Structures are given as C-alpha cells and as structure tokens.
Amino acid sequence: MCAAHRGLDAARATPRSRAALRTVPGAANAAFRSAAQRGRPASDPTAALARSVAAHIAESMVALEVLERHSLLLARWGHDLAHRLSHGARLLVAGNGGSAAEAQHLTAELVGRYDGERAPFSAIALHGDTSAMTAIGNDYGYDEVFARQIRAHAREGDVVVLLSTSGKSPNLLCAAAAAREVGAVSWAMTGPGPNPLSLAVDEAVLLDGRNCHVQESQLVAIHALCACFDACIADAPVPKPRAARTAPGREPR
C-alpha cells in the first residue's frame, strides 16, 4: 500500500479507532512506569527483534548450504564465461525487482571489476535501458521487455543469465525462449525447483528458502561466479572486439 493510500485510510478512520491509536503510546509508557514502580525492570523491547534477526541469519545459512551443493556448476560457469567473453562474446542479464538489482550487480562486476585489476568485459543488464523497457512494454506487452532486447543484442555464443525467486515470471520465460532462438547459452538462478524457468534454460542453479533468502543466495552465487571468472581470466587473452554484423549484400570492412 502506498503512502497516499495509508493517509487516506487514516483520514477515514472512525473517531473511536483514532482515539484507540492515540492511546497506544500512552499505554506502553504506563506499562513501563508501572513495572519500574513495582521494582521490576521492564522487558527489553528489542529482545524479540534480536531473536528475529538470529532466525533470519539461521535461515540464510541453511540457504547457503544448499547453494554450496552447486559449487561445481558455478565454477564451470565461471570458466565458460571467461572463455566466451575473452573471445568477444557478451553477457546479458535480466531479473525483476530485487533480482534486477542482482542482475545489475553482476554486470557492474564485469564492466568494472570484481577484485583486482583486469580488462573490462561486455555485460548488459537488460532492465537498465528504461526507454527501451517502457517502449517495448507499451508496444508489445511486458512479457517481451527482455526477449526483444535479447533478439536485438545477443548473438550466437553469447551468454544470457536470468535471475528469479519464483522461476515463473512470464517475461523471463520469454527471454529464455529468445536466447534459444538466437543461439545464446542460457543460465538461470532461481528459487526452489523444478520450476518453469529452470526447465526453459540450458542450466540452472536452484536455491532454497523464502524469497529474501533466495536473493541473498543469488548475491553470494554472483560473487562466487565472479571470483571464478577472474581466476580464469588471468590466463586468458585480452577480449577481442565483437565482430560487426554484415548487412545483406555488403562485404565486411
């Protein structure tokens, strides 16, 4: 619910409900004063929150244990990505919401750097071009916002990485289909599986837990992938320029 709706609901509250809301802070203060007067310390209001934090961390650790089972696959992805990008291929990444942020994190590590100096590599987060996103969404529907960009930018041998907590987003399923059409390799990091996206790509890392823990695991997986990429790229050649597409009837320059 947006702030405007919350304000509207508060304005429409009955006099009795508004009065009840005003009494909450007063009742809490009275409880603390009463406990102090009886010689008993009031309970720490942050204790329950601390338990919630500890539970969140424990659930995250369980999700990371599941991620650890994919160590070999992530290492292979890092090696393959280093080989492809050092020979002129490009990485395209897509996700929705929090996964979009993770997608942009991955591309930033490759265009910039992860850990240590190296050459930049071609990597694009497909949600980053808001004009293209909104134009495609308006003209072709939101399901096509990533797929149409893949058809425009990807070439055979490129890599498409799709990030999703549910593995059910229609625009990512369309993106996987577009990657297959153009001959790009497709990988996914998703929540628990099997799910439609994990079945639509070439390979997938299936993460466990609630959505927030899936996203946390995605970030760890991305950093592990980048560490493997950097380790492999140290012995790889400087990335070659991408070959230009030749227009029909014209010789390449």
When divided into structural domains, the chain yields a total of 1
Does any domain span residue 65?
A: yes
Average pLDDT over residues 3-30: 43
Q: How far apart are CA 9 and CA 113, in angstroms?
A: 48
Which pLDDT tens digit goes with each residue over 146-203?
Answer: 999 999 999 999 999 999 999 999 999 999 999 999 999 999 999 998 999 999 999 9
Residues in the chain, total: 253
Higher pLDDT, 27 or 97: 97
Does any domain span residue 48?
A: no
Q: How far is CA 110 from CA 81, 126, 229, in A?
A: 11, 15, 9
Give the model's pLDDT for residue 181: 98
Q: What is the DSSP string of 137-178?
A: HHHH-GGGTTHHHHHHH--TT-EEEEE-SSS--HHHHHHHHH
What is the extent of the structural domain holding 231? Answer: 56-235
Average pLDDT over residues 128-154: 97
Residue 2 has pLDDT above 50, yes or no: no
| pTM of the shown model | 0.76
Does any domain span residue 212?
A: yes
The H helix count followed by the E strand count for the chain is 10, 5
Does any domain span residue 114?
A: yes
Average pLDDT over residues 107-132: 95
Give the model's pLDDT for residue 191: 93
DSSP annotation of 42 reads: P
Does any domain span residue 46?
A: no
- In the chain, pLDDT over 70 holds for what percent of residues? 75
Does any domain span residue 248?
A: no
Does any domain span residue 74?
A: yes
Residue 19 has pLDDT above 80, yes or no: no
Does any domain span residue 13?
A: no
Q: In what order do the strands lie in the sheet with 159-163?
A: 123-125, 91-95, 159-163, 185-190, 203-206
Which pLDDT tens digit goes with each residue over 34-81?
Answer: 545 555 555 788 988 999 999 999 999 989 999 999 999 999 999 999
Give the model's pLDDT for residue 216: 93
Q: What is the CATH number of the domain that holds 102?
A: 3.40.50.10490
Higher pLDDT, 114 or 187: 187
